[in-house]
Every structure is written in C-alpha cells, then in structure tokens.
Amino acid sequence: MTKAEVLRLPAPAKLNLMLRIVGRRDDGYHLLQTVFQFIDRCDWITLRRRSDGLVRLLTPLPGVPEEMDLTVRAAQLLRQSAGVRCGVEIEIEKNLPMGGGLGGGSSDAATALLGLNCLWQAGLSLQDLMILGLQLGADVPVFVNGCSAWAEGVGEVLTPLDLSEPWYLVVVPECHVATGQIFSAPGLTRNNKPIKIADFLAGQQENHCLPVVSELYPKIEAALGSLRRFSPARLTGTGACVFATFADETDARAAAIALERDWSVFVARGMNRSPLHQALKLA
C-alpha cells in the first residue's frame, strides 16, 4: 500500500470561549452566539483507501452502531455527493472525552470529510464540505473551516477571528452531559440579548447554559470551584469540561499538578488555525 493511499490526520478539540442563547427557531433549534477556538489536543484519524467501495470502521465506539458513527456517515455522505467509487477503512484514536463539550465527534467527522476529499481526490471545495458538514452536526462546519471564529445562527454562520493563543488548563469531570437535556431544560433562558464581536472582545464571555448545567451536574460545579482557585473558570459548550486561561505554560502546568490529585486534567495551547488544515497544507 503506497503512502498516497493512507492518511493519518488530527481531529482537534475546540473550546467555546462564550455561549449566548438569543432565540429559538420554529423547528426547535436554538439561535446562538459563540466563539470557537481550537486547542492542540486531538483525536487521530487514519484513513486507508479501499478499491471496493466499502466503508469500514475498524475501531467502533461501545454502544454506537457502525453506521451511526459520524466518521462513517461523513464518508458515505461524501461518496454520494461527489460520486466517488472508492471505499475506506477508518481507525480512530480517541483522546477527547465524549460528552465533554470539546467537539470530538464533530471534529472526527470534519477530519473524515477533509481527509477523504484529498484521499479520494473528490475535488469538493471547502465551502462544499462545510455544507455537507452541517448535515452531520451544527459544529462540524467550524472544524471544516479550520480557523477560530465568531459563530451565529445554530453555530454555522462563521466570521473568522484573530485571537490571542493562550495556554488553557482543562478539567474533565467524570460525567457526560446530554446536550439535548440542557437545551430542553425549563430553566434555560432563551431570549438573551445579542451582542457584537467588540462586546465579546471587551469581556462579555458568559455561557448561558452554565446555570442549568451547574444545577443538574454537581461534579461540574465542583470542578469549576476547584479551577477558580487558580484563574477564572468557564464551561465549554454545554460541558462537561471546564477550562481556565493562563498567560504561560508554566503557570498552567503548576495549576494542573495541584489539581490532578482530584481531577482528570490536561494542558493545551490555543490555536487560531486548525492543525488539520496545517497537516493537509490547506490555505
């Protein structure tokens, strides 16, 4: 098997640096304002081209049927949309927690789309792939697009942002948050006032899901309390992961050492350009 027939690619995590809920559509989807930034913590996806047209997942997740895995769905969607006859074997090295608010599943799907577009020489544009990605999940387009962004709509209307790239300490509580449960909670405020990018940059960085998440998941509230001893702590997406910003790696790692006796933690660097785009040498 030649190198051209195999790709091993990163699927980076993201953080939501803020999350506002500013309305609700007739179809039930919530209207959001959020800011995405990548971090250098990744799943890894290996794609091996097959000539028989079959799509096979070699590393299925427990309890998730193969045909429902987002990478398999991404591959099938790309095959159908681009008229590709090739197949693929997919291996996923999972490093990102499920239900953690880091976008692992969406990022895996985006890596499959971009990687297979290259491996299969399907010829779709980045915009084409973003449109396909939206069929798989509201967060997939930002991973396809590959740059830090202000997002509106259901999270798919993107404006690139040039942000500082600090060090983050991320705490991973031992619980999985069901996003649907949070967005359907009676206590969730859904009519918050929209803000502008300048307001975010000036410090308006609330997460409107936080009160509901803290009430329903005591472990997350406890994690926030522990992290606040070192730096202001925030929730990414609907959680479960919480994070804090540090100016340098040394301070972040010192806080991590103090917390790792009680919590699962990791230190990561903020990135405005996705490592997936860097790996594929995309402009």
Element (H, E) at 224: helix 218-227
**SS3 call for 49:** strand
Strands 149-152 and 87-93: unpaired
Residues β-bridged to residue 43: 11
Which sign does the torsion angle of CA 46, 52, 53, 57 carry?
negative
Cis omega (within 30 of 0) on the bond before 240? yes
CB 216 within 8 A of CB 227: no
* Nearest-angstrom CA–CA distance, 47 and 64: 19
CB 213 within 8 A of CB 182: yes
Smallest CA-to-CA distance from 7 within 109, 88, 105 is with: 88
Q: Write out the catalytic residue numbers.
A: 14, 139
